[in-house]
Amino acid sequence: MAWLSWALAAMVLMGFANLGMKAASLKGLSPAPTLLWVVAGELPLALAYWFWRGRPESPAGGMTWALVAGLFTAAALILVNESFFRGAKAAVGIGIMNANFIVVALLAFLLFQERLQPSKLVGLAATLSGLWLMAR
């Protein structure tokens, strides 16, 4: 499980990023410039990472999927920033957005034949229940 520490670190950093977007909203920054500055902050780190990994090749199919993922990420950030702008509590708005793993799990099952064990289905149901409780 060498991947676990990387995933946990990503969770913590994404938490700080999401909190930063909510803070930007509380400081009066509207959703459009928030997204612009988030992307501006991502670009230097993404380029540094690309160089650090040795400027790996980009097969057309993989690059296309990555660009599509970027469009979906930007759209999701637009929507979550709009929710903040319209009064969403940080924990609720981000909790709902980050429950995207439900969509990922179901689509990975359908598209990539990843298994959904009963324990994972229970976890998905618990997440949906928790989101319902948080949104009330």
- Report pLDDT digits (tens) over 55-66: 888 888 899 999
Report yes or no on 108 lying in a domain: no
Report yes or no on 78 lying in a domain: yes
Between the CA atoms of 68, 127, 7 and 72, what dihedral angle is there, to the nearest 10 degrees? 10
Report yes or no on 125 lying in a domain: no
Is the pLDDT at 23 greater than 90? The verdict is: yes
What does the alpha-carbon distance between residue 20 and residue 24 come to, in Å, rounded to a whole number?
Answer: 6
Say how many domains are in the chain. Answer: 1
Report yes or no on 118 lying in a domain: no
Q: Enumerate the H helices of 53-89 as residue ranges.
A: 60-85
What does the alpha-carbon distance between residue 134 and residue 129 come to, in Å, rounded to a whole number?
Answer: 9
Q: Which domain holds residue 67?
A: 3-98
Residue 58 in tokens: 């980009």
pLDDT of residue 57: 85
pTM over 0.75: yes
**Residues near 66 by Cβ (< 8 Å), separated by ≥ 6?**
58
pLDDT of residue 128: 87
